[in-house]
Structure 1
Amino acid sequence: MHARGWVIGVVVAGAVVSGAAADPAPKPVDIKELKAKAVVLQDAQGGTYVVFRTDDPKVFYGPNAKTVYEQVIIGSSSDGEGRWEFNTWAPRVPEGSHLGSLEHKKDGSYQKTCRGKDDAGLTELGGAKAQAILDKTAFVTMGIIRVPHLLARDDSGVYYYVDRLAKIYGGKGYRVFVGRKGAMKQMPLTDVASDSAGDVFSTKSGDLRLVRNSENNKETMTWVKGGKRTELVFLDTDINSVVIFKDLGIYTFLGTLCDNV
């Protein structure tokens, strides 16, 4: 018996179609018990960085001292002799794992690194200046409200993209965009169907169908408009992180260490 990649139009309980409601805002983070462990840094443009080196470490960054956003820590290291480093998710960094880093070097200096694209030396603040930031700055959850769900492209360079709310902001609320780089248009979403065979995102302009074929463990995507079917190239959302978070033009401020690369 051959496995077939049929998409069955069953709406999953709890699947949410993103409507006109505004996206959630970042949530306050309580740092009262962490202040004694804070390392407060700034760059020459006033960008503010706060590192809490505790058993549950946290890194925050903001382009100014008004609000700083929690970073997603991917990894960290320390040599036990004064040097330490935190690697955080920075989806606009083009190479490798899309990381931005904060490093305390053995010579006592601090460095922000975006793989050579937006690197900067940092100055440690102490005394009243550091305390003012800890007391007056708003510490909030990450600035990336939405994350990629799937990405595809046709042979003429038109992209088809679906995002959803990040898990800490609800994890649903899908949106569909279609268009060329820098000219993506959101398609009014009317229904979401999902099952073991795939996903269907129905819009007023057409259906975006992701089909999972259990026989060869492959996924295919198709845009269906009226009676016309356009086969799409399925694109890995991590490998194409820069395309998604920069080139498509959907997102502006992310609140990461390396927004400006």
Structure 2
Amino acid sequence: MTVYAIIGGTGLTQLDGLSMKALLHPDTPYGSPSAGIVQGEYAGQDVLFLARHGHPHRIPPHQVNYRANLWALKHAGAQAVIAVNAVGGIHPAMGSGHLVVPHQLIDYSHGRIGTFFEGDLDHVTHIDFSHPYDDGLRAKLLAGLRACDYPHSDFGVYACTQGPRLETVAEIARLERDGCDIVGMTGMPEAALARELDLPYACLSLVVNPAAGKSEGIITMAEIEAALDEGIGKVRDVLAHVLKH
């Protein structure tokens, strides 16, 4: 049975219903992970859970220690990673509350340490990253969404921006011209680091607001929090289905 690691993003700093067996605080060659790794049982299956932004939510996306997080999960026994992300919707079908399983991504972040392959190396390593998300894991997430009968999209190009500020209207227009469907701040380098560790990786993205310029008025935290409150229960249902099946 595959041991899944779930990385919780904004709105999912803890996984309700997770029965904790141990709380791991591993030391890594890259520093400390964002929080302790919860080793427990969810939906009757062994699972590892890590809050990407810490618990409580305190680490901004550009300061997350992505290398420590992924290394710690791998060495705790993770065999696959499901990442949960709160995102803005660019594609007209991807409004607040919509769930997306992205199939591609474009990295617009900068200054983040994005590889394990640096320093005093014996040789240079170039991973293939043509398709950043694992097809098998994406299929499991989509099966869960269909079983739960939640509105969702089985495609999506994820634009990863630097944050922590939200984007300008002109920036979103540029991302749309580039072919992006959703925008978030944590998709990279997380996906690439998982590939370097040979960990199957896929995202379940919850749209919590229309991106800048996609609705009237400004984006408010009240709007985002309301969408999170409404949508996180659906995320938990889908995760439970994936683990059970």
Give TM-score, length-normalised by structure 1: 0.27
Richer in helix (by share): 2
Taking structure 2 as the reference length, what is the TM-score of the superposition?
A: 0.28
